[in-house]
Every structure is written in structure tokens, then in C-alpha cells.
Amino acid sequence: MIQTYVCPTIAEIRAGIASGKTSVEHFVLQSFDAAKASQAELHAFQYLPDAPPVNRTEAALPLAGVSVAVKDIIDTADMPTEFNSRAYTGRRPEHDASVVARLRAAGATILGKSVTTEFAFRHPGPTVNPWNSAYTPGGSSSGSAAAVSAGIVPLALGTQTQGSVIRPAAYCGVVGFKPTYGAIARTGVLPLAWSLDHVGLFTTNVADAAYVLKLVAGTDAGDPYASHVPAAVAKVAGHRIGMLASQVGGAVEPAQQAALDALAERLSCDGADIVIVDLPAGIFDTPRHALTLMGVEAAITHGELVDRSPELVSAPMRELVEQGRMLPAIEYARTKVLQARMAYRFERWIRETMALDALLVAPASGEPPRGLDSTGDASFCAPWTFLGVPAITVPVGFGPAGLPLGAQLVGAANGDVALLGLAEWAEERTGWKAAVAARPR
């Protein structure tokens, strides 16, 4: 089992600094030492500086003392951003990505660059699952999920084009939040498919994710799709939550379904209205449509590199580029139209037809796959990414192999704050802390 650490939450860090009992430097040094000590086994980081990179700013800033792991497709001006690609070894961006700049302005320290699959697609990096090194941490945001799970940092940045935040968060037993499409600007983030790419957050608890979202969300001139700013909403007394008769990604392991059913029962006992629902026609086909958008847009982004230096690009990416090039323009255009229509149909369905606060669904088929050759199946997350709606996973227990299981909540577009509020309420009823206490690392 991987050596893990006890990292305070963002709220605890802020309280400690505000009380004067500790300093910004203390928390950053703690994270830096943990990152260095764990690297040989965990491999969560693609890059760590030689010395702690403390953001020595005003202690009163909202993220002062908070160390952040940044996925290595997100630009950092003071550290390499190499996309886990041999073609970009040594690449040094001139500017921070928009989301990184916002974090620094809020006082956060960028601790290092976390491992990603190559170009945030399917070719895995060396990161292992902190709960058992024989299993994948998921991907493509592998290092970000592992760094939070191992207690190295309280916050990490990831991206999701299909399931690359939600799935690794579930596999590693942490909170993963993918906001509404456009809520966090992607300026300075390498695109895989701009029609699908989202920037997301990894934290140890829902409250920290909600706190950070307020600081990093917003428009940016470099991202024409960044047009949504989450607004605060009043908390509601009750919750109406939908569950699917069959999971949108396919069959799930018995332990995963049991975990969802147990959580639903606890939420129902505490006042939630749990209803069995059928999704609008066509939602089950969204993973296939997402691949159409991804293939064409990846071909535009990475096709020149594939032509110039195919030996420096993994087989999965070369295949994706080739698939994208073979698709007729009319098919891509139809898929774009379909994406907009389905998003509108889902919005009407969840808000008006069913009047749901959220869907409770599986984030993955169950526990992570054994080995590091695959990062798992994204089909359970891809529909919500395709529709651009917010989604969050919270850890709920363990499967038969002793690996974490999660539960995913999906909300209506632009309902990020409301979804986070519901997730925080649900988090208190998951039994996760008791499950961890019964199975210490």
C-alpha cells in the first residue's frame, strides 16, 4: 500500500492561518515534503521543482497556504507543461493558463505538474492508485486524483473531455467536480476536443470544491465559450433526486449498484424524494456522438504533429486522428446540431418534466481496473460531458477488492451551486468516513 499523508482541508488551512497558529509556508512545505517523499512509489507528478515554490503573498488571501497540483496540459509560466508527450519535452509556456492565474491571484501555491495521459487521451502515465499500486488511478487526470487521495495536496486541477475528472476521483476515493461547460475558462489549456473539454477540480470534500469554484469561475477573453458565471442560490429544504432503471454507461458491478442503492435509501430516510426515471431518447447514444466530436477536433489539434513525427505520438492518438480525418464534414456538423438539441431537451426534462434537483448515477462500472494499461471506461461520464451539465462524484465506500466506489450527482446546466449544495448534504450521509476508519490504509 502506498504511503499516504494527512493533508488538512482548505477550510482548515485557512482557519489555521487566520488564527495565527501557523503560517502559509508551513502548509506548503508540508505538501512539498509529502510530494517528494511519495514520488518514487506514487508517481503523481510529472514535474516538481527542486525547492518549495511558496507563493509568499498576503496571508488574508482566500487560498494563501493552499498547495495545488496542476494537470500537465494546463500551462504554468514557471514550470514545464509537456502534455506527457515526447514531442513536447522541455516545453516552457510564456504565460499561466487563465485558471492558474486566478489561483495564484487568490494566494494559492502551484506545487507541481501532475501526470496526465498523453494529450489527455488514452495512453497512460506511470501514476498508480494510492489505495493499491496494482490498480489504475483512472485518467486522464491521473496524477491530480492520486495527489489529493494520498493527502499530498487539498486541491488539484484536472480536465474532462469524457470522464477524466469524475472517473479518477471515484477510483481514488476523493471528490471530483466537473462544472457546467464554460464555467471555468480553458485559456492556456491544451484542447483535446473544444466542444467537450471542461476544467474540473479535485478536493477531499464538497465544501472545498464549492469554495474554489467561486474563485476560479468566470469569463476570459481567450476562451469564447467561457460565458457562464455560477451564481449563489438559496438552499432548499427538500431534494428530488432521480435514479435510472439501468445505468447510462451500461452494466455496473453489483457492489457499485449496492452502493448507489444504499446511499439513495439513506437520502430518502432524511427527506429526499427518490424517483426512478427514464432518460430522454438518445441520451444513451451520447458516448458515440462524443467520439465523433473528439475525433474531428483532435485531428485538427494534433494532426500536424502526427504527420510530422508519428513516432513521437502514441498509437491511440494516431488512431483517433485518423478516425477524425475519415469522418465526413456533414456528420460532424450534424453531431454539433444534435449536441445543442440534446442539451436543450435534457434541460427541459430535468428542470420541468421531472422537476429534479439531480440525478444519482454511477461514476464508473465499479472499482478501478487492475493494472496500468487502461484507465477505465468513460461511458458513465461521457453523456454529462457531451451535454455540458455539471457533475460531481463523492466517495461512498469500498468494493470487494478494497478499492473505492463513488456516487455521481448530475444537475441542470448552470446549476453548479445548487448541485454542490445538494452534494454537500449527500456527502454527510455517505458513510465514507466510517468506511475509511474501518479500512485504514
The DSSP secondary structure of 196-239, one letter per residue, reads T-EEEEEESSHHHHHHHHHHH-B-BTTBTT--------PPPS--
Q: pLDDT band at residue 3, thresholds of 50, 70 and 90?
A: confident
Please determine, for residue 237, whether its predicted confidence score (pLDDT) is greater than 60: no
Please determine, for residue 328, whether its predicted confidence score (pLDDT) is greater than 90: yes
Catalytic (active site) residue 178: no
Residue with cell 487521451: 121
Q: pLDDT band at residue 148, thresholds of 50, 70 and 90?
A: very high
Please determine, for residue 356, whether its predicted confidence score (pLDDT) is greater than 80: yes
Tens-place pLDDT, residues 167-185:
999 999 999 999 999 999 9
User: Chain-centre distance of CA 435, in angstroms?
Assistant: 23
Residues 336 and 332: their CA atoms lie apart, in Å, by 6
Residues 213 and 348: their CA atoms lie apart, in Å, by 25
CATH level 3 topology of 10-238+354-438: Amidase signature (AS) enzymes (3.90.1300)
Candidate list 38, 98, 141, 164, residue with the active-site label:
164
pLDDT, mean over the chain: 96
Domain boundaries, the chain: 10-238+354-438
**Alpha carbon of 413 to those of 196, 215, 221, 385: distances in Å?**
14, 19, 22, 11
What count of Cα atoms within 13 Å lies in the side-chain half-sphere of residue 74?
Answer: 33
- What pTM value is reported for the model? 0.97
Which residues, listed in sequence order, are joined to residue 110 by a DSSP beta bridge? 68
Q: pLDDT band at residue 90, thresholds of 50, 70 and 90?
A: very high
Catalytic (active site) residue 433: no
Catalytic (active site) residue 71: yes
Candidate list 31, 38, 67, 71, residue with the active-site label:
71
Residues 248 and 419: their CA atoms lie apart, in Å, by 20
Tell me phi and psi for residue 324, to 5 degrees: -65, -40
Residue with cell 466510517: 434
Please determine, for residue 309, whether its predicted confidence score (pLDDT) is greater than 70: yes
Candidate list 38, 114, 140, 379, residue with the active-site label:
140
Average pLDDT over residues 20-35: 96
Enter the C-alpha cell of residue 115. Answer: 501526470
Enter the C-alpha cell of residue 278. Answer: 427514464
Please determine, for residue 238, whether its predicted confidence score (pLDDT) is greater than 80: no
Q: What is the pLDDT of residue 2?
A: 82
Please determine, for residue 1, whether its predicted confidence score (pLDDT) is greater than 90: no
Which residues, listed in sequence order, are joined to residue 252 by a DSSP beta bridge? none
Average pLDDT over residues 334-352: 97
